[in-house]
Amino acid sequence: MWFYRFIYWVMMTSRWYQIWSRTYRFLFQRKYTQDTDPIVKTTNFGQLQKDLDTIYYHSDTFRVLWDVCFSPHYLQHILNTIKKKGYQPTGSFDCDDFACLAVNTLDSAYKPMLMGISYKRRNHLSFKGHMICVFQLSDGSYCHMGNWGLYFGYTSLLDIAKDIADLRDSDLIGYTLLTKDLSLKQKIFI
């Protein structure tokens, strides 16, 4: 397990994910701006999850080096296209993008953040991860949403990370919290 923790540490310390995502946004998605695709803020997280459920999951491919977080304005463009025209433009839309759209759309009163969870599959050599939007209700409890649905009633962020790992029959390696602009807020090694 130490090897996987080391890989996770290298990935988080190098900030490769943030650098590549920002570079990709600049190179390929700068035409999607606040002027053309304004982010529609909401306090209704139930409706937001319903909107997320209209989007089809497509994993990242070689074109995006298998892991990139698209621009929130591009993601809003995708959702707008689905709502207006009834189809989803071609291209990838994976867990990072579901989470990014939710974090940028959900009202800041809920303190939404991106949470990247890294885990090692039990009885396998594979090292995996999942990105979700975590947020907090007024009673202090935590919730998360994304392409796996909307979940309530967590007392801590660690409980969420452990639950995600358990859902994948995996051992938790760690989790990372990012702000909506992909700035590192916290990284936790287990």
**DSSP-assigned beta bridge partners for residue 128:** 119
Mean pLDDT of the chain: 89
- Burial annotation 174-184 (CB, 10 A radius, 16+ → b, else e): bbbbbebebee
Its pTM stands at 0.92
Residue 14 has pLDDT above 90, yes or no: no
| Residue 66, pLDDT score | 58
Q: What is residue 64's predicted lDDT score, i.e. its pLDDT?
A: 56
Q: 46: part of which helix (H) or strand (E)?
A: helix 45-53
**Distance, CA of 106 to CA of 72 (rounded, Å):** 12
- The pLDDT, as a whole number, for residue 140 is 97
Better-predicted residue by pLDDT, 44 or 124: 44
Give the domain ranges of the chain.
2-189
pLDDT tens per residue across span 108-153: 999 999 999 999 988 877 788 899 999 999 999 999 999 999 999 9
Yes or no: say if 70 and 25 are a contact pair by the CB < 8 Å rule.
Answer: yes
Q: What are phi and psi of 88, to 5 degrees?
A: -105, 125
- Residue 159: pLDDT above 80? yes
Over residues 53-62, mean pLDDT: 81
Do 177 and 185 meet the contact criterion of CB atoms below 8 Å apart?
yes
pLDDT at position 6, please?
A: 76
* CA 138/CA 113 separation, integer angstroms: 16
